[in-house]
Structure 1
Amino acid sequence: MAAEGCGEMSGNGELEESSAMDVPEVPPPPPPEMSEENGSEAVAPAGPAPASFLIPSAIGDEEGELPADFEHLWKSAHDNPQDFTSWTDLLQYCEQESHITASRRALEAFLIRYPLCYGYWKKFADLERRAGYNDRAEEVCIQGLRVIPLSVDLWIHYINLLLGTLDMNLAESPKRIRSVFEDAVLAAGLDFHSDRLWDLYVEWEKEQGNMKNAAAVLDRVLRVPTQLYNTHYDKFKEHLNNHPPKEVLCSEEYEELRAFCRQSQKAERAEQAHEEEEERPPGEEEPATPEGTDSEELMQKIRKQVLLCRDKVYQDNEGEVRKRWHFEDAIKRPYFHVKPLDRLQLRAWHSYLDWEIAELNRDTKDPTQDPKQEATEESEVTPQPQPASEEAVVTHSDYRVRILFERCLIACALYEEFWTRYIQYLEPQSVDEARAVYKRACDVHLTNKPNIHMQWATFEERHGDLNEGRRILIALEKSMPGLAIVRLRRVALERRAGQLETSVVLLREAVDESKEKPTLHAFYSIKLARLLQKVGRNLSEARRVLQEALEISPDNDKLHLNLLELEMSGDPWASAEAVQECVTRALAASLTSHTKILLSQRGLQFAEEYSNSIKSVLSVYDVHQKLLNELGGSKRGAENGDEDAEKLSKSDDDSAVAVAAQVPPTIPHVPITTPPPPIVGTDMSAQAGYGAYSSWYQQPQYGSYGYQNTWNYNQGYYPPS
């Protein structure tokens, strides 16, 4: 049992087994030179939509005593649910022990996490059937098909289950089987590898003695680009030749062709009779022909006309197969597996999707295409009406694109890029359908991928459902606690919704919960202070938050920088003392020399620009000069503009410095005494890595515009101390 889903598998991900029908050998690709393109195919509404599922509760379970090692393997699988091997070990053990209760529990839990492993749905159904629960076996198949309606193998397994359990002597049994066949071909019949399903449908109709229905099914598959497209045409010709046309064709088509062929035959006989009359001896009469009977010659003429019509369909379909063949040939693993796909396989799926969408766009712009006419032509060769509502009908090419996306999401279910791409395709057409894909991705297949969950929350907020956006983010935070980005997304959502108090509460909770992690505590404290300052306009509360954070992390340079920026953003005349207190506190902390010089420089700049007393400016200047003397020669070199600019930029954004260093001077050198003032409200946390704004103060930036002395820019304005 463990081998299935993890070993080498065939077409749809199951180990090779005896199938319901023998599959012919795969034909070579169609010939490269074709005269016709744009073949048509059967248009049908989607089958059971993939959605969340619920395994039906077991009936008549006998708990008894579980196998000896079950609890150990069960715990191992649940402790690490992403470990596929631990699940397969559990399932294999349950199968070896032949314990139905243990197997049920294991299969139910496994299929909730890995619902695309269709082989295990089959094993689950077989388990119930062997135990005598046919209704439950049928329900398991139905649940599996709701999740993976494109699984040809699971459809065939379900049909064979019904054929083995239903009483075919009852009038309703054939109707039910035919209904399931219709659901199957509508859901999975457009799959490139759906030939076995179509063949099974044809053979079953023949067994029921319904030759017209068998011909109608063959007529439909002639329009579908499949791997064994040519064998279907051969079977149609064989079916037509082995039975009278009246027993194969629908009555309308047969009568139309019969009338046409009889007219043609009469014309030929009239001409032949005229020739024979000229050669007949005088007095001899023409032999009588029985009325009301169709001769073998007429039957052959009808067959010939039928094949002339189908040959055009076949040629068009061959063109469609030819266009898809190399894309299909590049796909080596069309079934689900937890093993990563290589880049070539991912690229193959992207290329196939690109092409199919391009075909849709081309067909949409083609003015010669008439969807009504195409639908009429199809109804002429398909006697059974299509069970589709007006809302369920989608365009011919659009349905093919959706089928390809669904096939791709089976093989690439663990890659969020394909889910995102499918959603982007669906959203302009239907928000509800895009939402359903988000739900499948986040609730089933990508439970541990936070990015797509946050995209889903953004999607819901963009479409006006704030409550659903909140629910998604809250659920994500519960399932993956500790992600700061999720908490910040919740804060931003509430702020945009006008719920500032809720935003503040969320950040306060984060601050309180992270006191044991100083770095994270400082991060949340900065975010809370900025929210209170910039949105809440509450400087005093923002100041208190940063001061409390400094008590826990007195050597955190980001906290010092943000507190200084907060003080500088207030009333410049009332903030002078608070600014200098910030600088003094920072200089007493265990910060890097670079950070201390930067803070001291900012304090001196603030004093020069806003102080009312030259004495206070000179006092600050003296403190700054003393700091430079204490730091030694390396920073004195920087003071005079002699140090290499790249060395000064190592602690900040190298890329920004590199760009600035490459910019040629465009403004003449003008001796300016001070650099530009800081932007009000600048996020000073970026000075140490939150946004790379610190490079704005670096020498290379100013060097291009004439600012050469970064640290002691005012040495020409004040006398040396």
Structure 2
Amino acid sequence: MATEVSEDLSGNNGELVEDSSAMETSENPVPPPMTEVSEENGGGGADEVPEVAPDTASYSTAPPATEEEEGELPVDFERLWTAANEHPQDFSSWTDLLQYCEQESHLTASRRALTAFLARYPLCYGYWKKYADLERRAGYNNKAEEVCVQGLQAIPLSVDLWIHYINLLLGTLDMNLPESPKRIRGVFEDAVSATGLDFHSDRLWDLYIEWEKEQGDMKAAAAVLDRVLQVPTQLYSSHYDKFKAHLDNHEPKDVLPPEEYAELRVLCRQSQKAERAEQAQEEEEERPPGEEEPATPEGKDSEELIQKMREQVLTQRDKVYQQNEGEVRKRWHYEDNIKRPYFHVKPLDRAQLRAWHAYLDWEISQLNKDTKEPNQEPNEEVEEGSEVKSQGEDTEEESQGSSDDKRVHILFERCLIACALYEEFWIKYVHYLEARSLEEARVVFRRACEIHLINKHTIHMQWAAFEERHGDLTEARRVLEALETALPGLAVVRLRRAGLERRAGRLDESETLLRDAVTQSIDNPSLHAFYSIKLARLLLKLGRNPCKARGVLHEALEISPDNGKLHMNLLELEVSGDLRGSAEGVQECVMRALSAPLPPRTKILFSQRGLQYAEDYGSSIQSVLSIYEEHQKLLKQLGGKKRAAAENGDSEDPEKMMKADDSSAVPVSPQVPPTMPHVPITTPPPTMIGADGSTQAAGYGAYSSWYQQPQYGSYGYQNTWNYNQGYYPPS
């Protein structure tokens, strides 16, 4: 119980006070009754969640320096240390190392292991406590406090760590010094400012209240109780019971602020006079002018007046309690669905993820609902004095809105303790903050990418896109460069970097990035071909330099002659060139593909593409017939029975053929590759006129339509008609 803890806190015997386990109540909390309460709150602006600001004047935020190094490290330390650092994402390797250090009780080894572990997993508050206890047992109290400060900067929402830090100070500070209570009270204020709105912050509030009582400041204890009465927490009803007990055990003047006590005393005395006047059966005794009532012995209030003031105080607090109970009731179901509020590397089940999403969405919706201002009539008359009232209401609504926004922040922070390894929640937090504070959104991105999700490239690229969208290209470049350093060889990152430079108008830098990628991937033919295609398209489409683009593809084909995509890109380049000089290049490209080690289906595709080009742009019938004869020979050699079936038109279902015929009259979208029967065809499809005046095959003009095909057999061509029967003489 909290009262038991507070009794231990008064002694300064150097022993560490029991922490969170001593603060838990022995009774299970029950949800608030389902009474009808008002759900409307005042709207207002958003405030930032207070940052942790313990007294760090004499402490550094860097890892604690060691004053005394022990001798040689334990025998198995290097082996376990190497295993943990070679596989830093293997949580069990770290726990094996830490367990071994704890068993060996070696200070230097434990410091080294804990520092490295907490740099990677800073949300494990239990290990911060172990680290602080390690320094405390070794006699380094200053270092123990440094560790607690570091831990609270990493996880400011940890109620347990705040309690541990406070207990450490209570066990080490000389409370006889006048600055010690002031420092403790400052830490308590930092703690409740950072985590006081947490639904499970009751133990911290209880510890604060009991400590104020131990200091003999009953007004301060009552003030803390007043504050917590307005916070929806799990043990909300116990705080109200403690407030009533505190009021019963002390006179109102000893627990209430002077202003409130004076106002309440006047109000109760007037009410008492009115009651006496109504109940009087005989005329009161005359008193000298100016004397209101005979003074009670020793200047104290009468018991009747004290009781009346207590009743009035409880009447006022009961309204606050009822309102707070309504807030608790609305949150109880969401809180009950959260089964693992702490950090762990084990994945959460879908139900837990849905529970967090639902809770966050609801809390945000409450804030949005409360901040909506009612519509005001255009010709509404304003009465005298209403302006002052409106200003007062606005102030109250702004305070309420600020509190609601702070609750959303704290709920996000709670969620990111349990869901730190799920980028969807980090992105959700950024989207919430982006409309309120770009700097806060950047801080969240930085925490996610530099601490918790180092190897998740998706959120890093979203961070870079965020910075680029808001005009900070330097930071966007830095993020992508750091990501590529951490995850070398990831093609999507290099392409994103090249795209960033291209959008910034730096085509030379974009070309340099792609050329470097081509050079660095020469040992990986598939990746080399991928980058070569990207570079060639950049040179062709944006650089307007087909010669350079052709050279890039030729060099890539020397390394990967069996890569059909390279051949197809080269063919696209030749086809899109000037018709007066491209015929020779097209036929050369087709012949290169036919002589390359490509699948038969792909060779047939290139052959028919060459036939199509000759049919559309050939200068003489002799050249067309010559190419046609070669195409027929290739079909006999590679097509076999499929050729005959295709020529007879019975290789596909009639309904599919009808759909193919219908699609021939509709331009194909460059973003969506057309559907087609996957059979060898003997005649070319119709051509399309591109936006730049170049001719392209239907379905071939879009780079993505063939580039994303898993096999080379589907390149976007359709056998939409069969005009070779009777058109050319049989071979």
TM-score (ref. length: structure 1): 0.86
Q: Superposed, which structure 2 residues align to 1:19-168 within 5 Å?
A: 19-38=21-40, 46-48=49-51, 55-168=62-175
**TM-superposed deviation, 1:695:** 6.0
Which position in structure 2 is the counterpart of 1:385? none
Partner of 2:219: 212
Q: CA deviation at 1:293?
A: 4.2
- Given that 1:193 and 1:227 are in contact with CA atoms closer than 8 Å, whether structure 2 keeps it comes out as yes
- Say whether the 8 Å CA contact 2:20–2:163 is kept in structure 1: no
Opposite residue 282 of structure 2, the aligned amino acid is E
Task: Spell out, residue by residue over 1:77-127, the C-alpha distance to the aligned partner (whole angstroms, 9 max, x if none).
Answer: 001000111101111111111111110000000000000000111111111
Structure 1 residues 528 and 371: CA distance shift in structure 2, 3 A: farther
Q: Distance in 2 between matches of 1:18 and 1:228?
A: 15
Structure 1 residue 264 corresponds to structure 2 residue 277: no
**Partner-residue secondary structure (3-state), 1:19:** helix
Residues 372-387 of structure 1 correspond to what in structure 2 (within 5 A)?
A: 373=393
Cα 1:85–1:64 change in 2 (3 A) is: same
Shift of 1:67: 0.8
> Does 241-250 or 600-609 show the bigger shift?
600-609
Q: For residues 496 and 674 of structure 2, what CA distance do their matches in structure 1 show?
A: 33
Greater Cα shift, 418-427 or 496-505: 496-505
1:492 aligns with 2:499: yes
1:442-457 equivalences in 2 (<5 Å): 442-457=449-464
**Alpha carbons 1:118, 1:151 under 8 Å: kept:** yes
User: Cα deviation per residue 1:429-449 (whole Å; 9 max; x = unaligned)?
Assistant: 111111100000000000010
CA offsets 1:247-288 (integer angstroms, 9 cap, x no match):
011011111110000001111122233x1349x9xxxxxxx9
CA distance 1:104–1:40, shift in 2 (3 Å): farther
Task: Look up the match of 1:708.
Answer: 721
Question: How far off is 1:506 after superposition?
Answer: 1.5
Q: Tell me by how many angstroms 1:515 deviates.
A: 1.7
Q: Superposition pairs for residues 563-642 of structure 1, below 5 Å?
A: 563-630=570-637, 631-642=639-650
Shift of 1:21: 2.8
Query: Which amino acid counterpart does residue 640 of structure 2 have in structure 1?
Result: G
Q: Which amino acid aligns with 1:104?
A: R
Unaligned runs of 5+ in 2: 1-17, 54-59, 286-292, 376-388, 660-668, 678-682
The change in CA–CA distance for 1:472 and 1:717 in structure 2 (over 3 A counts) is same
Q: Is the 8 A contact 1:454 1:473 kept in 2?
A: yes
Q: Find the residue that maps to 2:200 and give its secondary structure.
A: coil
Match for 2:708: what amino acid?
G
Aligned to 1:677: 688
**1:643 aligned onto 2:651:** yes
The alpha-carbon deviation at position 20 of structure 1 amounts to 4.6
Write the letter of the residue equivalent to 2:325: E
Q: CA, structure 1 residues 247+364, in 2 after alignment: closer, same or farther (shift >3 Å)?
A: same
Which deviates more, 466-475 or 625-634?
A: 625-634
Where do residues 447-486 of structure 1 align in structure 2 (5 Å cutoff)? 447-486=454-493
Whole-Å Cα distance in 2 between the matches of residues 78 and 673 of structure 1? 59
Query: Match of 2:282?
Result: 276
Q: For 1:270, what is the secondary structure of its paired residue?
A: helix
1:332 maps to which residue? 339
Instruction: Provide the C-alpha distance between the structure 1 equivalents of 2:525 and 2:483, rounded to a whole number of angstroms.
Output: 24
Cα separation, 2, equivalents of 1:685 and 1:30: 59
2: distance between equivalents of 1:618 and 1:675?
Answer: 18
1:32, 1:57 → 2: CA distance?
A: 51
Distance 2:479 2:629 in 1: 56
Cα deviations by residue, 1:57-82 (Å, 9 ceiling, x for unpaired)? 42313142111111011001001000
Cα deviation code 1:450-488 (max 9, x no counterpart): 100111111111111111111111111111111111111
CA distance in 1, matches of 2:344, 2:686: 60
Name the CA shift for 1:113/1:73 in 2 (closer, same or farther; >3 Å): same
SS of 1:395 mapped into structure 2: helix
Q: Give 1:137 shift.
A: 1.0
Tell me if structure 2 keeps the 8 A contact 1:331–1:345.
Answer: yes
SS in 1 for 2:310: helix
Q: Percent identity?
A: 67
Bigger shift: residues 496-505 or 362-371:
362-371
Name the count of aligned residue pairs.
659
For residue 56 of structure 1, report the CA deviation from its aligned partner: 2.7
Tell me what 2:729 maps to: 719
| 1:507-541 deviation digits (Å, cap 9, x = unpaired) | 11211222221111111111111111111111111
- The 8 Å contact of residues 494 and 513 in structure 2, kept in 1 or not, is answered as yes
1-side partners of 2:109 and 2:208: how far apart?
36
1:331, CA displacement in angstroms?
0.3
TM-superposed CA distance for 1:19, in Å, is 3.0
Quote the Cα distance in structure 1 between the aligned partners of 2:234 and 2:42.
16
Question: CA separation of 1:172/1:524 partners in 2, compared to 1, >3 Å: closer, same or farther?
Answer: same
Q: Does the 8 Å CA contact 2:499/2:510 hold for their aligned counterparts?
A: yes
Q: Distance in 1 between matches of 2:219 and 2:397?
A: 18
CA distance in 1, matches of 2:398, 2:591: 85
Q: Secondary structure at the match of 1:529?
A: helix
Residues 61, 146 of structure 2: 8 Å contact kept: no
Match of 2:527 among 480, 503, 520: 520
Distance 2:392 2:477 in 1: 45
Aligned counterpart, 1:285? none
- Alpha-carbon distance in 2 for matches of 1:141, 1:587: 71
Distance between the aligned counterparts of 2:164 and 2:328, measured in 1? 27
Greater mean alpha carbon deviation, residues 56-65 or residues 262-271? 56-65
Measured against aligned partners, the alpha-carbon deviations of 1:20-61 in whole angstroms (never above 9, x if no partner) come to 5342423211112324334799998623269xx954342313
How far apart in 2 are the matches of 1:87 and 1:34? 51
* Correspondence for 1:315: 322
CA distance 1:178–1:692, change in 2 (3 Å): farther
Q: Partners in 1 of 2:43 and 2:252 — Cα distance?
A: 24
Kept after mapping to 2: 8 A contact 1:687/1:694:
no
What TM-score do you get using the length of structure 2 for normalisation? 0.85
User: Would you say the 8 A contact 1:49–1:147 is kept in 2?
Assistant: no
Q: What is the distance in 2 between the residues matched to 1:507 and 1:41? A: 52
* Unmatched segments (≥5 aa) in structure 1: 1-15, 281-287, 380-392, 662-671
Q: 1:348 aligns with which of 342, 351, 355?
A: 355
Letter in 2 for 1:177: I
Distance in 2 (alpha carbons) for counterparts of 1:674 and 1:340: 52
Question: How much has 1:625 moved relative to structure 2?
Answer: 2.0
Indicate conservation of the 8 Å contact 1:494/1:500, yes or no: yes
User: d(CA) in 2 for partners of 1:299 and 1:267?
Assistant: 17
Secondary structure of the 1:677 match is strand
Change (3 A) 1:484 1:697: closer
Contact 2:63 2:115 (8 Å CA) reproduced: no
- Is this contact kept in 1: 2:706–2:715, CA < 8 A? no
Find the residue that maps to 1:367 and give its secondary structure. Answer: coil
Q: What code does the residue aligned with 2:158 have? A: S
Change (3 A) 1:19 1:133: same
Question: In the aligned structure 1, how far is the partner of 2:137 from the partner of 2:391?
Answer: 49
**Amino acid paired to 1:637:** A
How far is the alpha carbon of 1:366 from its aligned partner?
A: 4.9
Distance (Å, rounded) in 1 between the aligned partners of 2:215 and 2:554? 85
* 2:708 aligned residue: 689
Match of 1:171 among 175, 178, 181: 178
Q: Could you tell me how far 1:499 is from its partner in structure 2?
A: 1.7
Q: Which AA in structure 2 matches 1:561?
A: M
